Chain A
Amino acid sequence: MADPISRADVLHVAKLSRLALTDDEVEHLTAELAGILGHAADIEALDLDDVEPTAHPLPLENVFRADDVRPSLDRAEVLAQAPAAEADRFRVPRILGEAP
């Protein structure tokens, strides 16, 4: 049985999820996630050591296509949807930190 979820857990998961949550949201989510995970306690209690997991309902095989040049999405049409674009690229804020 896993430990109940704490405020620190919620803050950690918010960071992993790239979600800037308000204090109010953190408080609500701590209680709500605990409630939902509490419901899942029924399967935590099952002994399933001998059962194989199912990730997907179909037997999947990798799909290859012929290595031929085909039309793809129109670059101008795609970039027109970007919040910011420059010189045929997506423009983003600074990625690296300040130089030491």
Chain B
Amino acid sequence: MTGIGTGTAIEIADAVRRGERTARSVVEGYLAAISTREAEIHACNTVLAESALAAADAVDAAVGRGEDPGPLAGVPVALKDNLCTRGIATTCSSKILDGWLPPYTATAVDRIVAAGGIPIAKTNLDEFAMGSSTENSAFGTTRNPHDVSRVPGGSSGGSAAAVAAGFAPLALGSDTGGSIRQPAALCGVVGVKPTYGLVSRYGLIAFASSLDQIGPFARTVDDAARLLEVIWGHDPMDSTSIKSSPPDLGSNQDVTGLRVGIVEELTDVDGIAPEVRAAVEQAAASLEAAGATVDRVSVPSCTYGLSAYYLIAPAEASSNLARYDGVRYGLRADGVDVADMNARTRAAGFGPEVKRRIMLGTYALSAGYYDAYYGKAQKVRTLIIRDFAAAYERFDVLLSPTAPTEAFEIGAKTADPLSMYLSDVCTIPTNLAGHAAMSVPFGTGAAGLPIGVQVLAPALGEPVMFRTARALEAAAP
């Protein structure tokens, strides 16, 4: 694939900082890769060619003055199109925000730019990050760069495909129930869902606020670490931002004495493809060979994760998406009065999956059903947190598949919402618990497409998670 020859993000940044490569030449190379294959892949809603070249020239000028542009010097970064960028269209792949220009920039994006990174594209997603295939976009489906008849996963499918296709060495996504990890697995790249609160959500357009978290996509584990270290840390603009200093991700892959548990409820269940289960076994065996101990562990309430998630996330979404009312920004349809205008605007602006989730969430929160659905789901969330806590008394990290299968055919699951929701069965429990998890490419499936193994860690367990991920990366077939 194009772009691979241009090196890792760390190599690019180091070369640009030393003046051995210009940021302009780096950006031109990636823009060329985009123009070669974007028509086929459709990873991008907007390519930021002009502003990226201007930013590259600014980085080169800084290097020329003897200044250090920062740890992402000259590195192109693709941004999921639900991250606000001031004066640059931010659509959430929804007609309701088509043409909207945000008046501010997300903190994570500001930090990338301050570190010398260069936003190169806004990437496609399932509308408002609701989906697992990027087929719910109002602007067309993104295709998997490994096989364009298949989905890239979702909802951050554009970001995953951009990194896999060599459109950018790094990308940002958001993960509410697996929307970074699942597309990373299907596209054969690294994807990280950081601990809830580690990365500021300021400027991330809200889907389910108690679950959403921004995180990196990269080709290598160390590149993902480099990006995470740039974007994390306390932000007064996000009241749920963790105040303590971020952990040290280290740089080694030593797993000697590490206690690794394979989660039975996410691995040894119906619906997980045999070759996906085999990849998890092989990954565990490689850790064992490197000095870790491996055992099976039961996290019983994970069985109920999917049901709890598909009540909690839509409930929060139904509230968060109430703001799209045709008054302050975005689309407005005509109506005889305000309520009629609101209802017609939302009917015209939202796609079928967003409407479905707003309806589901409103129902789950409505009088008479609150206790049976939303209240019960919140209690299941408590059980999941308790069960994980018990597992982490005996294990340092947990392993499972990231997604049940390799990438599926475009259109295979669009007729049945439940079958699509099942794509997230392995990733959802982490969001409900607020923990960290990441997907590392590990082998291929029956169709020769990438498989991801998921490494799960407790809250702020990123150091041990990255150590394990490096060991898996080194051992991957």
Interface residues, chain A, CB within 8 Å of chain B? Answer: 1-2, 5, 9-10, 12-14, 16-22, 25, 29, 32-33, 35-37, 39-40, 42-44, 46, 48, 51-58, 60, 62-63, 65, 73-74, 77-78, 80-84, 90, 92-95, 97
Contacts and interface: CB of A to CB of B under 8 A. Distances in A.
A87 B97 CA distance: 24
B258 interface: no
Contact of B347 (A2, A21, A77, A78): A21
Given A46-B376, A48-B380, A58 B242 contact: yes
A58 B434 contact: yes
Interface of chain A: mostly helix, strand, loop or mixed: loop
A43 B417 CA distance: 19
A27 B238 CA distance: 40
Interface of chain B: mostly helix, strand, loop or mixed: helix
Contacts of B417: 32, 35-36
Given A18-B339, A56-B210, 8 more contacts: A2-B372, A25-B352, A33-B360, A33-B363, A43-B380, A62-B239, A80-B101, A83-B327
Nearest to A76: B103
Interface stretch (B13-21, B47-55, B289-297, B307-315): B307-315
A12 B303 CA distance: 32
Interface of B: 100-101, 103-104, 196-197, 210, 236, 239-240, 242, 303-304, 306-308, 310-311, 318, 322, 325-332, 334-344, 346-347, 350, 352, 355-356, 358-360, 362-363, 366, 369, 372-373, 375-383, 385, 417-418, 421, 432-435, 459
A18 B343 contact: yes
A5 B197 CA distance: 36
Nearest to B435: A57
B383 to A, nearest CB: 6
Contacts of B382: 51-54
Given A13-B362, A40-B310, A95-B337, A53 B381 contact: yes
B380 to A, nearest CB: 5
Contacts of A39: 306-307, 310, 418
Nearest to B316: A55
Given A36-B360, A81-B101, A25 B369 contact: no
A5 B362 CA distance: 13
